[in-house]
Amino acid sequence: MKRFLFYLLFVITCFSKVYAEDVKFYVSAPSSVGSGQQFAVTFTVNAAASNLKAPSFKGFSVLSGPNQSSSSSMQIINGRMSQSVSFAFTYYLQAGNEGSYTISPAKITVEGKTYETESFTIKVVKTSANAGNQQQQQQQQQSRQQQGNQAGGTISDKDVFIRANVSNASPYQGEQIIVTYKFYTCLNASPYPYDKLASNKGFWSEDITKQGERFVQYKEFINGKQYIVAEIRKVALFPQESGKLTIKPFEIDAIVQVQAQKRRTNTNFDFFDDFFSSPVQNVRKTLKSNEIVINVKALPTANKPEDFTGAVGNFTFRSDIDKTELKANDAVNLKFTISGRGNIKLIDKLNIVFPTDFETYDPKINDNINTSENGVSGTKTFDYLIIPRNQGVYTIKPVTFTYFDLNKGKYITLSSPEYTLKVAKGDGKQNNVAMTSVNQEEIKYIGSDIEHIKTKPMSLNKTGEHFFLSDLFFIISVIPFLLFVTALIFRRKHIKLRSNIALLKNRKATKVANKRLKKAKNYLVSKEKDKFYIEISQALWGYISDKFSIPMSDLSMDSVKEALGRQNVSDEIISNFIKTLNNCEFARFAPGDESLTMDKIYKEASDIISKTENELK
């Protein structure tokens, strides 16, 4: 104990001598680097410090940092001891475009006082390809060696990696497959945000990753080693050709936190470094997923319909028309809707044959596409505007839509009904419809600037008759005042009603109970047992509490029975209400078929609240 106190006093004395010296904070960096070259910038201080504020390093990419290290030395000359310490903060950067870049000073705090370095300039010059590659390889090797020395070893590819998984490695041409990229780590690491996605030749792709949402994470064992797994990206791919297609590797950077190795000196006071050495450091590592080869099967050629245009998946098809009886030159809207899951975005316009007397335009196409972890689905609508120019009876033949059904493994043809249009004689305005857009999607009526001569009798007013001060004028003037008085009376009644909290709760008791029963119905459908029974219980107990102004803390089976009895509710209803409360509590923990039990409890609760309300009325 005495020896420990002596060492502690000795260390404190050393600290006081160190702090008594002048604090020096300086930077070490190259004055010139090649484009694409990796290099180090080190900030050094000769005292225990905190709150390092590094510059932004504008014009350079930060690969790693700050990587902290410390060293100390002690000398005893003629019985006098001198102690010095040094703390280094190293950043590994990569040069970008050519030019001259000025780096602003770094700041650090020592004993509450702020110190800063000088600003410095780094010139980025052009380098030849060979020299640049050699220099970059040397810098990368040095960076890995320095990071390995500080981190106690390099980061293994088995510590942090990315793996790509595909839902189906042998799909049909046009069939939707899901590629999931999983981030595996057994260290403290996180993927760096990415904004560029690689394109895959031969595929049409749709990114189905939900931006802004947290990654799905779970644990997984590989060869007896536990990893934290995060699904960082999901892509829906649609192969556009048959044969072997390759899904390219996905690259991403990750920030890995590794244990930093403490530097030791040859003194008897190695524990001195433990006060300041950083136990961890952040290292940036580039990860690349595995390459996946997909064997795409060609669609069957046998029994292939002529109107098949490449739709693959599971779809439905319907049509709607706004009217079948009209006059010549009136517009008709005919809409076709395709819904389902698959390559719905790639479906082309339909093949429709209209009667020759119809004026038709290109359809207005709307996509309502949904993306989820299960892939791409949604609806696609084709709106056709048709205008019959002459009277008569016309037929629009059925329109077919053919797709390849993945579940049945064959082509399915869906058809719309046949429409018969009865067109009557028009009103003589042959030019009353015109297109206003380039693709002829909208219509408007024109020719209204010159009206036809009116043959109907016109209504005339006698000279001297005016609306002002007439009987109708006074009636209309009084109406706003009457409405104001009515609204004022209604508001005062409403305020009085809301001030009576007990009466307000009594009137809303059934409404609140039905609202909770509705929530319980949703939990019944989703089979969430605990939430279902909570809502049922709150509906029953809350109904009694609101109806009779009884605090929830005072409710019991006896108080429920007493409250209902005071309102002359029949003994049968009271008994059934108490029975329903007991059944709800018992069924929550009882074994058996949960679905049947929950359905029975829901019906009992709904029925008893309805019957009780009828009794109270």
Q: What is the 3-state secondary structure (H, E, C) of 146-200?
A: HHHHHHCCCCCCCCEEEEEEECCCCCECCCCEEEEEEEEECCEEEECCCCCCCCC
Instruction: Please give the single-letter amino acid code of residue 76.
Output: I
**Mean pLDDT computed over 594-604:** 82
312-444: what fold? Immunoglobulin-like (2.60.40)
Position 429 scores a pLDDT of 55
| pLDDT 10s digits, 221-268 | 888 889 999 888 888 999 989 999 999 888 888 888 776 655 444 444
User: According to the model, what pLDDT value does residue 501 have?
Assistant: 52
Helix (H/G/I), strand (E/B), else coil: 34: strand
CATH fold for the domain made of 501-616: Four Helix Bundle (Hemerythrin (Met), subunit A) (1.20.120)
**Which residues are CB-contacts of 471 (< 8 A; sequence separation ≥ 6)?**
none
Poorest-confidence range of 83-97, 283-297, 405-419, 565-579?
83-97
Instruction: Express as a percent the part of the chain with pLDDT over 70.
Output: 75
pLDDT higher for 346 or 297?
A: 297
Per-residue model confidence (pLDDT) at position 21: 54
CATH class of 160-259+277-296: mainly beta
pLDDT of 442: 44
pTM for the full predicted model: 0.46
pLDDT of residue 515 exceeding 60, the answer is yes
Q: Where are the beta strands (DSSP E) in 187-311?
A: 188-191, 203-207, 216-222, 225-239, 243-247, 251-259, 280-288, 292-296
Beta bridge partners of 60: 95
More confident residue, 136 or 483: 483
* Res 337 pLDDT > 90: yes
Q: Which of 185-199, 437-451, 500-514 is predicted with the least confidence, judged by mean pLDDT? A: 437-451
| Better pLDDT: 265 or 507 | 507
The separation between CA 320 and the C-alpha centre of its own chain, rounded to angstroms, equals: 34
Q: What is the pLDDT of residues 541-596, one digit of tens each?
A: 888 888 888 887 778 888 888 888 888 888 888 888 888 888 887 776 666 567 77
Quickly count helices (H) and strands (E) in the chain.
8, 32
Structural domain boundaries in the chain: 2-151, 160-259+277-296, 312-444, 501-616
The confidence score (pLDDT) of residue 585 equals 76
Count CB neighbours of 365 within 10 A.
13
Residues 123-165: tens digit of each pLDDT: 999 875 444 445 544 554 444 444 444 444 467 888 899 999 9
According to DSSP, the β-strands at 225-239 and 203-207 are antiparallel
User: What's the confidence (pLDDT) of residue 17?
Assistant: 45
Are domains 312-444 and 501-616 of this chain identical in fold?
no
Q: What tokens does 250 get?
A: 């996905």
Q: Is 50 exceeded by the pLDDT of residue 272?
A: no
CB atoms within 10 A of CB 462: 5
Checking if the pLDDT of 19 tops 60, the result is: no
* pLDDT at residue 610 tops 60: yes
Confidence of residue 433 (pLDDT cuts 50, 70, 90): very low
The predicted-structure confidence for 29-60, as pLDDT tens digits, reads as follows 898 988 888 888 888 888 878 788 888 888 88
Identify any residues that bridge with 188 across adjacent strands, giving them in sequence order: 257
pLDDT at 427 over 90: no
Q: How confident is the model at residue 12 (pLDDT cuts 50, 70, 90)?
A: low
What's the mean per-residue pLDDT of the chain?
A: 78
Q: How far apart are CA 437 and CA 298, in angstroms?
A: 41
Asked if omega into 66 is within 30° of 0 (cis), the reply is: yes
With beta carbons less than 8 A apart as the criterion, state whether 204 and 255 touch.
no
The least confident of 10-19, 236-245, 502-511 is 10-19
Topology of the domain comprising 2-151: Immunoglobulin-like (2.60.40)
Mean pLDDT of 342-358: 84
DSSP state of 297: B
